[in-house]
Amino acid sequence: MNCNSHLFQNLTEASKLALTRRQFFGHGRNVLGAAALGSLLGGGLSRAFASNTPGGLALPHFPAKAKRVIYLHMVGGPSQMDLYDYKPEMVKMYDKDLPDSIRQGQRLTGMTSKQARFPIAPSKYKFSQAGECGLWMNTELLPWTSKCVDDMTFIRSMHTDAINHEPAITEMQTGSQIGGRPCIGSWLSYGLGSMNQDLPTFVVLVARPTNSEQNQAISGRLWSSGFLPGEHTGVSFRSSGEPILFINNPSGVSRERRRLQLDGIQAMNEMTFKDFGDPETHVRMQQYEMAFRMQASVPELTDLAKEPAHTYELYGEEARKPGTFANSVLMARRLSERGVRFVQIYHNNWDHHANVNGRMPAQCRDIDQATHALITDLKQRGMFEDTLIIWGGEFGRTIYSQGGLTATNYGRDHHPRCFTMWMAGGGVKGGMVHGETDDFSYNVVKDPVHVRDFHATVLHLLGIDHERFTHRAQGLDFKLTGVEHAKVVKEILA
Write out pLDDT tens, residues 389-409: 999 999 999 999 998 899 899
408 and 319 within one domain: yes
Percentage of residues of the chain with pLDDT beyond 90: 70
Q: What range defines the domain where residue 103 resides?
A: 54-249+297-492
pLDDT of 142 above 80: yes
Report yes or no on whether pTM surpasses 0.95.
no
pLDDT of 225 above 90: yes
159 and 36 within one domain: no
pLDDT of 37 above 70: no
74 and 221 within one domain: yes
Please state which of the ranges 296-300, 350-354, 375-379, 392-396 shows the lowest mean pLDDT: 296-300
Report the DSSP beta bridge partners of residue 387: 68
Please state which of the ranges 145-149, 268-272, 310-314, 427-431 shows the lowest mean pLDDT: 268-272
367 and 224 within one domain: yes
CATH number assigned to the domain comprising residue 142? 3.40.720
Q: What angle do CA 326, 418, 438 make, to 5 degrees?
A: 120
pLDDT of 417 above 50: yes
**Domain annotation covers residue 394:** yes
110 and 25 within one domain: no
116 and 7 within one domain: no
pLDDT of 9 above 80: no
136 and 29 within one domain: no
pLDDT of residue 354: 95
146 and 24 within one domain: no
**Domain annotation covers residue 397:** yes
119 and 198 within one domain: yes
DSSP labels for 329-389? HHHHHHHHHTT-SEEEEEE-----SS-HHHHHHHHHHHHHHHHHHHHHHHHHTT-GGGEEE
**Domain annotation covers residue 103:** yes
**Domain annotation covers residue 268:** no
Please state which of the ranges 15-24, 297-306, 405-414 shows the lowest mean pLDDT: 15-24
**247 and 294 Cβ atoms separated by less than 8 Å:** yes
**Domain annotation covers residue 274:** no
**Domain annotation covers residue 413:** yes
30 and 127 within one domain: no
133 and 175 within one domain: yes
**Domain annotation covers residue 60:** yes
**62 and 468 Cβ atoms separated by less than 8 Å:** no
Summary mean pLDDT of the chain: 87
pLDDT tens column, 277-298: 777 777 777 776 766 676 767 7
pLDDT, greater one: 484 or 254: 484
pLDDT of residue 438: 98
Q: How far apart are the first and last CA of the chain?
A: 68
Number of domains in the chain: 2
36 and 61 within one domain: no
Q: Residue 249 to residues 142, 231, 295, 329, 384: CA-CA distances in angstroms? A: 44, 21, 9, 28, 37
Q: How confident is the model at residue 238 (pLDDT cuts 50, 70, 90)?
A: confident
Helix axes 451-461, 184-192, angle to 10 degrees: 30
Report the alpha-carbon distance of residue 467 to residue 75 in Å, rounded: 29
**439 and 89 Cβ atoms separated by less than 8 Å:** yes
Q: Residue 89 to residues 7, 85, 421: CA-CA distances in angstroms? A: 78, 12, 22
* Mean pLDDT value across residues 158-169: 97
* Mean pLDDT value across residues 228-256: 80
Q: What are the helix (H) ranges across 60-201?
A: 100-103, 165-174, 184-192
pLDDT of 11 above 60: no
**Domain annotation covers residue 200:** yes
* Mean pLDDT value across residues 102-122: 94
Q: How many CA atoms lie within 13 A of 103 on its CB side?
A: 16
